[in-house]
Structure 1
Amino acid sequence: MEKKSFLAPGVLFLILHFVVFAQSPITLTKWKVYTSQVNILSADTDKDGNIWCASNGGVFHFNPKNFSDYESFNSLNGLYSIDTKFLTYHPNTDEIYVGTYDGVLSIYSPNGGWKNLLDIKNSQFTNVEINQILFNDTIAYIVGGFGLTTFDIRHKVFLKTPSRLGNFPSGTRCRHSLIFNNYLWVATELGIARISLGEKITNPDAWENLAENSGLQNPNIFFLSEENGYLFAFSQNTIYRYEDSTFKTYLQLESYEKIVSVQSFEGKIYFATEFFISSLNSERVYFFSESPLNAKINGFLFLNESQVAIFLNKSGLVIKNLNNGKLEYFLPKTPISNQFRYFDIDASGGFWSATNPDPSGEGLMFMKDGKWTNFATFLNPSIKTNNFIKVTCVGDTAFVSSWGDGLYAIYPKADTFVINKFDNQNSPLTGIPNNPNYVVVQQSAYEKRKSLLWIVNYSDAKLGYLLIAKDKDGKFYGFIPTPMRKYHNIVIDEFGTKWISSSDGTGFYYFNERGTLEDSTDDVVGNLAWNIYLPSNTIYSMAYDLNGFIWCGTGNGIFLVLNPGAVLNNSNPVIKKLKMLEDYAINCIHIDALNYKWIATNKGVFVVSPDGSEILLNLTKENSPLLSNEVLYINSNPYTGEFYFGTTKGLAIASSMNVLPAEKYDIAVFPQPFRLPKDQQLLIDGLASESEIKILTIDGEIVRTLSTNSRRTFWDGKDYNGNFVSTGIYLLVAKSLTNRESAVFKIAVIKE
């Protein structure tokens, strides 16, 4: 099978605007979003033969002949929603119509770009998903979870929505529609409704209902089609033919053969289950095992009499030549998943992300310079699982924990990657009770000053080490032998104490080997849940801040361990439950380079001040390019100020001024000269910690004072009165309140 890849960098879109929040020091710029487009759900071809695809991560199109003219769309370049479900092409208007799971109708015109209509989304319907769009002259029939509505193609406005279809109750879910014998037929979850094309669709009495009394033994109908003058209806695994005013079973499939797609091509009906594509007379077009991927089928599209495109579940598509059986495989160069559950950044700026644990894992994702490399069982022979949980980067090596296959160590080398694995065969890691080879590893953490990687080995009711250390020479050491090892997260405080928490409610371990890996007599070990009351024993996230506090995220807010060093003196630390966010489930807590706390919740991101006293902002998809308010994880690069927001709908990245300060001044400014008001801001880089900055005229008059703890800050070119300064040479005088160092730099300003 010939394998090809998309040449474009996937779904990278850049928007050069600022997201500035009122009364907040946080400024986020240069947003990018990345979504997965490998799970294709629907497609159609335009007049030029380009294939347009709707996926879980937006829309893309390409020319299948030579794989050129690739272009993709998501929420930053046209689409209101990336949750696209159905796509069709209107040949008369040369437009692409897209329906989404969340009720958005998006229309693409080659001349006008995207138009997003939110009428269904903003309606009062409980289920707003759009399942199909059917064109009839200047009208489009749109069916979905809400029922049926009509749309004026010329004026781009919605027309009429029936309150109900005959005796089917209001809100009956509609799956598909067809015009046949001067009737509009609508497939629903309760049967089929039909109406003469000359009748008013808003009149319930004009509709006729066909269900069990009409021969539909299973009235839950998903598709309709016609062949040789007959109407065919498709339930989940039964095909009915309509004849003599009744439906008769035409073909009964096995219970596991779920029909997922139906298409009529050149007068013949073809249907797909998850495993094969066939005509009604059992002419087999494709079987899932023809591809070495063995991926289930989402749908298909006949391109011509000799080619069919098959959409593989979470695996791109294949184009089959029906003359010679040859397959061409296309996998978009995008992330393999929209689930960015846990990620880290390596020393070279490479981004590594796990997806999901068992049973819904989708692999591991790596991105460098906007280009994606995916690791999954169907892509890499060395990868034996897709159930990756968490990532810790040490240098350029990503240590990736898995649910069932131990700990992977992956690093780039030349144009490839080296993949090593640690499990029960080559380390003290142990498996689960009924399968010693099924090794579950949760989070790992790197203790830089000791060059030690600490690994949490998860299990239940099997004796083994909860905590394992790996030194720089590859030698392993085991600690805390116990049969109950249902623990997930680990942080290391400034005293070298490892804090290990559980998301299963089994407590909160601490451990310190006191620098002696082979001498257990001086070890400090205990479980806080056994000694003191904790606000919650179920901890989903932990972080250690620059004040020396351990932040613990639970299902009901946050609590702090204020003095973790107390355990080294056999004392209990002080625990403080915070009032802020006490009604929120905390998915992740991230401490950035300047000690701001970034809290991921199912209602967006909350940023807490460095001293922990107040919430500075709530970042949501409504006020930013975040792809979803269900934020799973947050991380940042302290050297570049880039922030990474992992959600259930994809990854968003933004630039900030929250950068580690320089050890000593190395000031640079951009642009030079600074032209006002054309250049909105002057970037000042190379600042030491806690800098106080004065902008002076060449005569020494102070025009503006700035302060920051970051390596970078901006000057807007204005004085204390808010006026742009005059043309001239200005002096930037910076002094660190931490180390008392100072620096002077000249700035050229031109006021135009």
Structure 2
Amino acid sequence: NQHFVPNSPSQSGFSAITILSDGRLVGGNSNGLSIYSDQGWRNILEIKKNNSSVIQSNYDFSTFIADTIPYDFGGYISDIEEGPDGLIYCAIRGSYPKSFNPERTSGGVIAIDIDNPNMVQVIDTTYLSYHSTSSNSNPYMLVLDIEFDKYDNLWIANPYCINGNEPIHVKSNEGIWKHYGSNETSTKISQSPVSIAFDNWNRVWFSAFQAEEANVGIYPNGGIFMLNYEGDAYNPSYFDWSKIQEQGTVWSLAIGKENRLYYLTPNGLNYFDLNENNNPIINENIFPYFPNVSFGQGAELKVDSHSNIWAHSPSQGVHILLENTTYWPDVNGLRTFNSPLLSDEITDIAFDPNKKIAYIATSKGINTLRIPFGINEKDLSNVILFPSPFFIPSEIPLKIDGLPYNCDMMVMTLDGKVIKKVVNQGISINGDQLLWDGRDENGHYVSSGVYLIALYSSNGKNIMEKITVINR
């Protein structure tokens, strides 16, 4: 009997996801990568037995697809970034340079050409610091965050770096390395980094979590640190470190609008306002947002294209603070009890600003959420009205989609009488959609007939559409 496996990812749960510049979704876990395109899913997985590497020349998207490679994706993939060279960079949490039965190679970072899986690069103890014990001298690498700055330099957060004592690394696009630790300056930095961010003055920020075995009573146990450098990051003429917070777990950092640095602790979301001086903090928010949410290991901040801050919890869903510091959709955020979330155990979030979709990775699979934040429509050429015809009464309103932000609407009869005005309530409420329930200004359902929908944007552009309404 033939065993048929439908087209699918290798597993439903991903520890990290990203959206590529071409719109494809890449998800990763301890088995490898899964790539989703308009054609379907395909997988790039680590081998499970010796001499079983297979790279297919053609893909049949009607069935399960898996290329297999002799590389080990470690405990799990903690972060995925698309590099300026087109490779997909995977931060590996927990790996050894070599594994056996089957024999596999690994590193703290694995970079793959997902369109040619034979092309794999590994960043291992040649460049990274590592952890070992008296009972196990085998180098154990952990990387929890990787980021590319605007100069295309790769930055690596490398905790538990007791061999080498260099928790932060940077590699230029040409392959030149610089390793940052506490031995070159008088300022000691934490050896348990977890998150990296860049401000508008090209300074590098990292946060750390409490880990006694990594910081061994010598280095700050957690906190927030800032690297200021002159010249190239990989070959600075001068650099110094500033300790912003000397201790305490800070799970994640994110830069928002107006030079605001957000940081996530077990107690909630907070922020500093920054300037370019040597004392970079000019204002601090005193009371954290979301203080009643549990933000444990794996909690993280993500920033959408409108500089809204999405804080995800490993146990209590997603909580969003808009750039104007109001909540969206409300103070309860997105949970299984108030949204279609598959699980409250969130592992990552990625955004497609072109499609205005947030992809939310949970322990039970990925949710796609249509959001009102993304790239604004330039004009009214992509407007869609549905359903058409529009039957009333209906629990489902008429939707006018594909609008520029802050667009208003009037519903009129064919002779030009205005029967309903719909005023835009702002991006966070309406986004690129407006709704009409089929009622006039007095709250009565309109009669059957053809109606004009007049749409006019804030930049003065307007368009007229028609809709057939059937009052049953």
Q: Normalized against structure 2, the TM-score is what? A: 0.74
Which amino acid in structure 1 is aligned with residue 209 of structure 2? S
2:267 pairs with 531, 556, 559, which one?
556
2:230–2:236 CA contact under 8 A, matched in 1: no
Counting only pairs closer than 5 Å after superposition, residues 484-499 of structure 1 correspond to structure 2 as: 485-499=191-205
- Cα deviation 1:264-313 (Å, max 9, x = unaligned): xxxxxxxxxxxxxxxxxxxxxxxxxxxxxxxxxxxxxxxxxxxxxxxxxx
Distance change >3 Å, CA 432–CA 332, structure 1 → 2: farther
Counterpart for residue 250 of structure 1:
none
Counterpart for residue 683 of structure 1:
400
1:670 pairs with 367, 384, 400, which one?
384
Distance change >3 Å, CA 672–CA 486, structure 1 → 2: closer
1:461–1:484 CA contact under 8 A, matched in 2: no
Which amino acid in structure 2 is aligned with residue 636 of structure 1? F
Counterpart for residue 430 of structure 1:
129
Deviation at 1:437, TM superposition (A): 5.1
Give the whole-Å Cα distance in 1 for the aligned partners of 2:293 and 2:387.
Answer: 48
- Cα deviation 1:693-739 (Å, max 9, x = unaligned): 2436474957322254487223326554455666233331101xxxx
Give the whole-Å Cα distance in 1 for the aligned partners of 2:175 and 2:411.
Answer: 56
1:674–1:682 CA contact under 8 A, matched in 2: no
Question: Is 1:525 aligned with 2:250?
Answer: no
Worse-superposed segment, 675-684 or 341-350: 675-684
For the residue of structure 1 that corresponds to 2:275, the secondary structure is helix
Give the whole-Å Cα distance in 2 for the aligned partners of 1:454 and 1:350.
Answer: 24
1:674–1:748 CA contact under 8 A, matched in 2: no
For the residue of structure 2 that corresponds to 1:537, the secondary structure is coil
- Cα deviation 1:554-583 (Å, max 9, x = unaligned): 22222212x1335x4334453324344223
Distance change >3 Å, CA 522–CA 724, structure 1 → 2: farther
Which amino acid in structure 1 is aligned with residue 385 of structure 2? P
Counterpart for residue 406 of structure 1:
108
Rg (Cα) greater in structure? 1
Question: Is 1:454 aligned with 2:155?
Answer: yes
1:371 pairs with 41, 57, 62, which one?
41
Which amino acid in structure 2 is aligned with residue 746 of structure 1? M
Distance change >3 Å, CA 607–CA 389, structure 1 → 2: closer
2:143 pairs with 441, 464, 486, which one?
441
Counterpart for residue 715 of structure 1:
435
Question: Is 1:747 aligned with 2:465?
Answer: yes
Give the whole-Å Cα distance in 1 for the aligned partners of 2:174 and 2:235.
Answer: 19
Counterpart for residue 706 of structure 1:
424
- Cα deviation 1:652-682 (Å, max 9, x = unaligned): 22323322224x3353211389532378433
Question: Is 1:578 aligned with 2:287?
Answer: yes
Which amino acid in structure 2 is aligned with residue 747 of structure 1? E
Deviation at 1:643, TM superposition (A): 1.8
1:730 pairs with 445, 448, 453, which one?
453
Give the whole-Å Cα distance in 2 for the aligned partners of 1:412 and 1:744.
Answer: 44
Distance change >3 Å, CA 502–CA 734, structure 1 → 2: same
Counterpart for residue 361 of structure 2:
646
Deviation at 1:468, TM superposition (A): 2.5
- Cα deviation 1:30-67 (Å, max 9, x = unaligned): xxxxxxxxxxxxxxxxxxxxxxxxxxxxxxxxxxx233
Which amino acid in structure 2 is aligned with residue 366 of structure 1? I
Distance change >3 Å, CA 454–CA 436, structure 1 → 2: farther
Counterpart for residue 218 of structure 2:
none
Which amino acid in structure 1 is aligned with residue 305 of structure 2? A
Give the whole-Å Cα distance in 2 for the aligned partners of 1:334 and 1:456.
Answer: 32
Question: Is 1:565 aligned with 2:288?
Answer: no
Give the whole-Å Cα distance in 2 for the aligned partners of 1:573 and 1:519.
Answer: 30
Deviation at 1:644, TM superposition (A): 2.0
- Cα deviation 1:5-29 (Å, max 9, x = unaligned): xxxxxxxxxxxxxxxxxxxxxxxxx
1:673–1:747 CA contact under 8 A, matched in 2: no
Deviation at 1:501, TM superposition (A): 0.8
- Cα deviation 1:521-545 (Å, max 9, x = unaligned): 4435222124xxxxx7201222222
For the residue of structure 1 that corresponds to 2:143, the secondary structure is strand
- Cα deviation 1:596-629 (Å, max 9, x = unaligned): 4333221222333442244614322233332222
Which amino acid in structure 2 is aligned with residue 592 of structure 1? D
1:353 pairs with 27, 34, 37, which one?
27
Number of aligned positions between the proteins: 402
Give the whole-Å Cα distance in 1 for the aligned partners of 2:173 and 2:425.
Answer: 41
For the residue of structure 2 that corresponds to 1:458, the secondary structure is coil
2:320–2:333 CA contact under 8 A, matched in 1: yes
Counterpart for residue 17 of structure 2:
343
Distance change >3 Å, CA 591–CA 728, structure 1 → 2: same
Deviation at 1:489, TM superposition (A): 0.9
1:342–1:391 CA contact under 8 A, matched in 2: yes
1:363–1:386 CA contact under 8 A, matched in 2: no
For the residue of structure 1 that corresponds to 2:73, the secondary structure is coil
Deviation at 1:503, TM superposition (A): 2.2
Question: Is 1:655 aligned with 2:370?
Answer: yes
1:661–1:709 CA contact under 8 A, matched in 2: no
Counterpart for residue 695 of structure 1:
410
Distance change >3 Å, CA 731–CA 652, structure 1 → 2: closer
Counterpart for residue 591 of structure 1:
303
Give the whole-Å Cα distance in 1 for the aligned partners of 2:175 and 2:403.
Answer: 38
Percent identical across equivalent pairs? Answer: 16
Counting only pairs closer than 5 Å after superposition, residues 99-498 of structure 1 correspond to structure 2 as: 333-355=7-29, 361-369=30-38, 370-378=40-48, 380-387=68-75, 388-394=77-83, 396-402=86-92, 403-404=94-95, 405-413=107-115, 416=117, 418-425=119-126, 428-432=127-131, 438-448=140-150, 450-480=151-181, 482=183, 485-498=191-204
Distance change >3 Å, CA 382–CA 670, structure 1 → 2: same
1:463–1:484 CA contact under 8 A, matched in 2: no
1:606 pairs with 306, 309, 319, which one?
319
Deviation at 1:639, TM superposition (A): 1.8
Give the whole-Å Cα distance in 2 for the aligned partners of 1:474 and 1:696.
Answer: 60
1:365–1:373 CA contact under 8 A, matched in 2: yes
Counterpart for residue 509 of structure 1:
225
Give the whole-Å Cα distance in 2 for the aligned partners of 1:350 and 1:472.
Answer: 24
- Cα deviation 1:169-215 (Å, max 9, x = unaligned): xxxxxxxxxxxxxxxxxxxxxxxxxxxxxxxxxxxxxxxxxxxxxxx
Give the whole-Å Cα distance in 2 for the aligned partners of 1:495 and 1:656.
Answer: 30
- Cα deviation 1:443-491 (Å, max 9, x = unaligned): 011223x222222233333335433233333433333455952211112
Distance change >3 Å, CA 473–CA 675, structure 1 → 2: farther
Deviation at 1:551, TM superposition (A): 2.2
Which amino acid in structure 2 is aligned with residue 526 of structure 1? S
Give the whole-Å Cα distance in 1 for the aligned partners of 2:123 and 2:367.
Answer: 32
2:45–2:69 CA contact under 8 A, matched in 1: no
Distance change >3 Å, CA 746–CA 476, structure 1 → 2: farther
Greater share of strand residues, 1 or 2? 1
Which amino acid in structure 2 is aligned with residue 66 of structure 1? Q
Counterpart for residue 217 of structure 2:
none
Gaps of 5+ in 2: 54-67, 96-106, 184-188, 211-220
Which amino acid in structure 1 is aligned with residue 3 of structure 2? F
